[in-house]
Amino acid sequence: MAFFSRFFESKEDRMLKSAEALLLISNEFSRQLLEPIYQKFPQLVEQIEPKNKIIKYNEASKWDLTITVACIFIAKSKARDILYNNPSKELVQNIIEQSMITWQKESIFMLNDLENFYWDDLNGKSMKEYDSQLSPADSLGRWVIKTLTNHYPNSQEEYSMGRVIGITIIESFSKYWIK
């Protein structure tokens, strides 16, 4: 019977269930992303947070927190677009935000910081040397690097790592609600 109920479930019901699962999926994604990023940028990842520390502890590491927030930001932004005039939009947004607060209180502040940074960055407000070719992936990656290192990317390796992370997250979470 559960098999058939899926066919008759409304889009909003599916989105509410997906909103409830978003934090867990984003956090698992952050852990899965670590290994390929570590393989490509080992020295930079070790400078940010030694890999054994990231894997060893159960509490959210700086890596987990930052990447999870970035994933949620992309999915949450897409949900806002999909549910533009739908009354369920607020409920979906609240479910996502409440799960973040319950998980790590500071994650909601990081999400607000990312939202402001991302849109300002794409509009050229946070860059001294505005790059008209700046992509959403670059902007997301710049925030990730800034958050992980406490400075804007200032080497080719940091720019590259940010771009790879940004592309990977956007590719993975911009279609989160499509099932």
What does each C-alpha distance from 7 to 81, 128, 179 come to in angstroms? 23, 51, 12
Task: Report CA dihedral (124, 129, 134, 139) to the nearest 10 degrees.
Answer: -70
pLDDT value of position 60: 59
Give the CA count within 13 Å in the CB-facing half-sphere of 57: 12
Q: In the predicted model, is pLDDT for residue 57 greater than 60?
A: no
Sign of CA dihedral 66, 68, 73, 74: positive
pLDDT value of position 145: 94
**DSSP alpha helix (H) spans, the chain:** 2-8, 11-40, 42-48, 51-56, 62-82, 88-103, 105-122, 136-149, 156-173
The token duo for 139 is 């902007």
Q: How confident is the model at residue 1 (pLDDT cuts 50, 70, 90)?
A: very low
User: What mean pLDDT is predicted for residues 30-56?
Assistant: 78
pTM for the structure as a whole: 0.85
Nearest to 55 by CA among 72, 32, 21: 32
